[in-house]
Every structure is written in structure tokens, then in C-alpha cells.
Structure 1
Amino acid sequence: MNRKTFLQTSLGFLIGSQAFSKPKNKRKLCFNTLACPDWSLKEIFENAQKYGFKAIEIRGIKGDVDILNSPAFEPSKLSEIKRMSKDFDVKILNLNSSVVLHEYESEKRNKNLDIAKKYIDLAQELGCPFIRVFPDKFPKEKPKEFALDTIKSNYETLIDYCKGSKVKVLLDAHGDLVWSEDLLKMMQGFDKKHIGLIWDFFNMHLITKESPQKMYETLKNYIEIVQIKDGFFKSNNTYEYTLTGKGEAPIAEILSIIESEKYKGFISFEWEKRWHPELPNPEEALPKFVEFMKNSF
């Protein structure tokens, strides 16, 4: 074999091997700061970059669950936060508030809506595309339709407030609003410019026992963030969290569904260390999640 033939054969082999190699993993990974209640904001950015995450959902910093009261988010600190986000190449994807939309009594309702509006303003200032709100338990003294109408009315108030901004208000399936059809009815009729859903299969399935396919087919037009956690579903709607890949949540099926549908959003890891201090530390849980996501088909 002469040199020319060798080079042609080698080049053909190289091109062929590249054609059959596994495409580069393009999953966009995010984590919720519930995972790291002891980290400062700088540590969160540093470790997100270190472990391979491209975004964060902020649900508290250190002792402050409500970041509106956090020294880390004082108005004078916002330019520094934006600089850190850029320097570490880690996007602030979502500001997770504790705002609930099921309140119907005037004082409680207005208090929650006022807090949500401040989160919208903060997100706009930070260039963050989403804030999160949620329903909780429906009022026992009222029928279900009253609760759904109340949530929808309060949601509409926040959507109207978003007009002129680049912020979407995301509903996080929670409490009694976890059935796919109920969530779909909640979203229908609104301009999609300022609305969306966080799809948390684990939280929904715990109550509804719906399949990933049923949930996704029903809600896919509104899903902005796919949230992942793993564990075991136990009796009486209880659960036990595990490291990613160690439980029974059908994560591979969820990934297969969203990727077959060409989902382009973030996959966010919700590790509830803040609420469950007995869970393994973020230094273990976060890399395990990234490893699972990189190696699962």
C-alpha cells in the first residue's frame, strides 16, 4: 500500500467511524438550589460550572428561602449576580417563589400576588426568563371548581402584570393541582407568551399514578422545564428519595419521550436537601445526576 492509498483508506475509516459514533450529548442540565442550602450564591455558580450544569433554579440562598429578603439579592448586588452568571456561564433559569394561587380571602390573596409581582420584577432585572408559583391544598370548605377558578383568576392577574416584560410565570404541579387534565384546563385560554408549566413527574405520579406518556401528551404544549428526581413510591402517597438512577422513577422513559418530541428546554434536578437534611450532600448528589444524564442512552 503506497502513501496515497494509505491516506485515503485512513481518511475513509475516520469519516466512517465518526458517522457511526454516538452524537454528542446535548441535554441542558440545571439544578434547584434546594440541593445546597449551605452554599453561598458564588459557591452555587462555581459548583454548577464544576459539575457540568448550565443553569440554576433559585429556591433560597443559605437561610433565606424567600430571596426577596436575602442579603445576596439586595438591589446593589444585582449587577454582581449578573456578572457571576456570565463569568461562570451558568444561567439563572427560574426564581422559585413560595407564592400560592389558591388563596381567595382578600388579604391572603393580595399578599401572595404582591410577592409574585416582586419576583417578576426581580426576574426581569436579572434577565431570568421564569418565576415559579404553585397551588397547594384546595380549600376544604369550597368545591373543587371554586378552587380551580380562584387559581386561574389569580394566575391571570400575574400574567397581566408580566405584559411588557420577558418573564413567564410557571405553574409547578403541587398540592391538589396535579392531574394532567386539571393542569391543561388551567393553561387553556391564555396567551402562551407569559405562561408555562414545570413538569414534575414524581410529584404528580405520587398522587395520580398517571404515566409519563399520558402527562406529556396532555401538557407538552406548555412544558418549559422538565424536573427530575428519583425515589420509591410508597403506600399512602408517601415516598423515599434516592440518588438518581437508584429508585423506581421511569427517568429513561421520560428522557425518551421528551427527546423523541425534540424538547429543547432544560432538565432540572430537584434534590430536596433543604427539606430533607438526611439526604446525601450536594457534593455527591449533583455529580451523580450529571453522570446519569450523560450515560443514559
Structure 2
Amino acid sequence: MKLAFSTLACPQWSTEQIVENARQMGYDALELRLLDGAVLDPVKDAEKVKQAVALSRANGLEVCTFDTSCSFNHSDPAERERHIADLRNWIQLAQQLQVPLLRVFGGAGNPDTYSQQEENAWVADALRQAAPQAEQAGVTIVLETHDGFASARRTAEVLQAVASPAVSALWDSHHPYRVGESVDEVVQALNGHIAHVHVKDARRLDTDPYGWQLVLLGEGEVPVREQLQALRQQGYQGYVSVEWEKKWHPEIPDPEVALPQHIALMKQWTA
């Protein structure tokens, strides 16, 4: 396994600080979600992204993933088309810069209005439209176990409907656990289609049965160690990326604390 972190962890760092800290901490790669504290756009931020990729590689780091904001669980066809167009721009940029993975979301969904089958069909149809371009570009689109698609079983249903080698799964350690799926259930559901992994730990809040608090690795209840061991047993050779959500949760510890702590423990657990 190769270790990375998402730039979501460090919204206050410059690109130079991100690269230097990643190198000094011993990470293998970066996952680009933010630069200069802002979510990236594949068109208007293309030059900034190119410079970040070049600087990373000049310092012995890869850029493993572009984290898009694309989601496809929209009842409005025009909205879905907008996100498909955005994904096509990301594929083009990833091909140009030889970045292998593009993260996408299914979306939050509206179960009171639409059936799960309808929503799955929207997501699968959107991914089928982008898949041939991704196949030609040598890029893998990874659908994250997140939001309405937190369940690995549901994510697997979409992947089966798409049936493209260029569309696979991103296993986010927290969300399938949050919806009650065990490590074995996730591995069995995704059945060799895990192309990327996000690691985060959290604990349930006693004051809110639906709330979670992000915590340092090993201080919560998410079975991250068991997940990493399962990946090793499956022969997983891809990236495991720390998704420390400092951008969205400014109250959690700073990246200077969290990122060294995560890599030290992940190296220990995967040794």
C-alpha cells in the first residue's frame, strides 16, 4: 500500500508547504481537493493544478487523485448533464497530467420522493456516459461510499450497472461503518473493485444519535486497523489516503498534529 493525504487537511498551507510537509512526513502522494484553501475547478484552476503536480513530482511525490465535486443523484436531467460535463473536463485534465484517479459522488438523494432504484439508475447512466472517455484516457473514476451511497452494497449495485473497467469504488472507512456495514461486508460487496481508500476515524456523539465527531486515528470507533488488514489480505496495492476534513471542520486538530499521527499509525498497522 502507498500512503497519501488529501489537501482537505490543510486549507491554510500554500502548495509549497503542502509538498514540503508531505515529503518530510514520509507520504508517497497527494490527493488534490483544495489548493490555496479553495475547492478546485478543472477549467479555471487548470494551471494551478499543473504547477502543483509538477512541484510534487519534482519532490518525489505523486499526485494520486483529483477529488472532483461531481455528483449524479439529481432528478433534473440538466443538472446531471452539468456534472457530467464537469467530469469530462476532469478526465481531460487527469489524462494530460497522468493522474490515475478521479473521485466522484453518487449524491445525497431524496428517499421520500424517489426510489433507490431510480436514483441508482441516474448515477449509473451518468457514469456510463463518461466511462468510454475515461477508458480511452487511462483514468479510473472512483465512486465514493458517501452520502446516499455510503453503503458498499448500494455502491456495488451502481458499479455492476455501469460495467466499465474505468469505473470502480472508493472505500471511505467511515461511512459504510456509519450505516452498519462490517469490514467483511464491504470487502465482499465491492469484490475486488476497490481502487482507492479514504481513512478517517470518528466517534458517535452521545448528544446526537446521528452526529459524529472526527478524531485522530485510533481514538474513535471506526475499525480502520481491521480495514487495512483486510485490504492487505486482498492484495490491495493502491493508495490509502488520509481524509482529515480540516476545511469542513476547523475545530479538529491542525494538520501539523493529525498528518504525522496518521502516517505513523498507518505504517505501524500495515507493517
TM-score for both structures, normalised by structure 1 = 0.84
- What is the rounded CA distance, in whole Å, between the counterparts of 1:69 and 1:190 in structure 2? 26
- The answer on 1:231 being equivalent to 2:202 is yes
Counterpart residue number, 2:65: 94
Aligned match of 2:190 in 207, 214, 219?
Answer: 219
Counterpart residue number, 2:180: 209
Displacement of 1:254 in angstroms is 1.1
Q: Is the 8 A contact 2:13 2:37 kept in 1?
A: no
The count of residues paired between Structure 1 and Structure 2 equals 267
**Structure 2 unmatched runs, 5+:** none
Equivalent residues in 2 for 1:64-213 (5 A)? 64-68=38-42, 71=45, 73-74=46-47, 78=50, 80-139=51-110, 140-206=112-178, 208-213=179-184
After superposition, give the CA deviation of every residue in 1:29-76 in whole Å (9 maximum; x if it has no partner).
1101110011222221111111111011111112321233665x327x
Q: Is the 8 A contact 2:128 2:164 kept in 1?
A: no
Q: Is the 8 A contact 1:60 1:67 kept in 2?
A: no
Larger Rg: 1
- What is the rounded CA distance, in whole Å, between the counterparts of 1:184 and 1:35 in structure 2? 28
Equivalent residues in 2 for 1:243-254 (5 A)? 243-254=216-227
**Structure 1 unmatched runs, 5+:** 1-26
- What is the rounded CA distance, in whole Å, between the counterparts of 1:185 and 1:30 in structure 2? 28
Q: Could you tell me the percent identity over the aligned residues?
A: 27
Q: 1:34 to 1:243 in 2, by over 3 A?
A: same
- Match of 1:176, SS state, is helix
Runs of 4+ in 1 over 6 A off after TM superposition: none
Displacement of 1:189 in angstroms is 4.8
After superposition, give the CA deviation of every residue in 1:257-289 in whole Å (9 maximum; x if it has no partner).
111222111111110000000111111100001
Q: Is the 8 A contact 1:57 1:95 kept in 2?
A: yes
State the superposition RMSD in angstroms: 1.8
- What is the rounded CA distance, in whole Å, between the counterparts of 2:183 and 2:148 in structure 1? 18
After superposition, give the CA deviation of every residue in 1:101-128 in whole Å (9 maximum; x if it has no partner).
1123132111111111111111111110
- What is the rounded CA distance, in whole Å, between the counterparts of 1:142 and 1:189 in structure 2? 18
Q: Is the 8 A contact 1:197 1:222 kept in 2?
A: yes
- What is the rounded CA distance, in whole Å, between the counterparts of 2:28 and 2:59 in structure 1? 9
Q: Name the aligned partner's letter for residue 103 of structure 1.
A: H
Q: Is the 8 A contact 1:123 1:167 kept in 2?
A: yes
